[in-house]
Amino acid sequence: MASMINVALPKGRLGEKVYKMFEEAGYGCPDIFEGRKLVFESRDAGVRYFWVKPSDVPIYVERGAADIGVAGKDILLEYAPNVYELRDLGIGKCRMVVAAPKGFTDDSEYPLRVATKFVNIAQDYYASVGRDIDIIKLNGSIEIAPILGLSDVIVDLVETGTTLRENNLIVYENIMDISARLIANKSGYNFKSREINALLEKLQQTAQI
Ligand code: PRP
Q: Residue 26's pLDDT is what?
A: 96
Q: What is the model's pLDDT at position 30?
A: 85
Residue 65 alpha carbon to ligand 1 centre in Å? 28
Q: Can you give the pLDDT at residue 1?
A: 65
Q: What is the pLDDT of residue 2?
A: 74
Beta strands across the sheet bearing 94-101: 133-137, 112-116, 153-158, 94-101, 169-178
Cα-to-centroid distance, 83 and ligand 1 (Å): 26
Identify the pLDDT of residue 164: 97
Given this model, what pLDDT does residue 208 score? 79
Residues with CB under 6 A from ligand 1: 140-143, 156-163
Atom of ligand 1 lying closest to residue 117 CA:
22
Alpha carbon nearest to ligand 1 atom 18, residue: 140
Q: Where are the alpha helices (DSSP H) in 101-192?
A: 119-128, 144-147, 162-166, 186-191
Chain segment 44-64, per-residue pLDDT in tens: 999 999 999 999 999 999 999
The pLDDT score that the predictor gives to residue 209 is 79
Query: Which residues of the chain have a pLDDT value below 70?
Result: 1
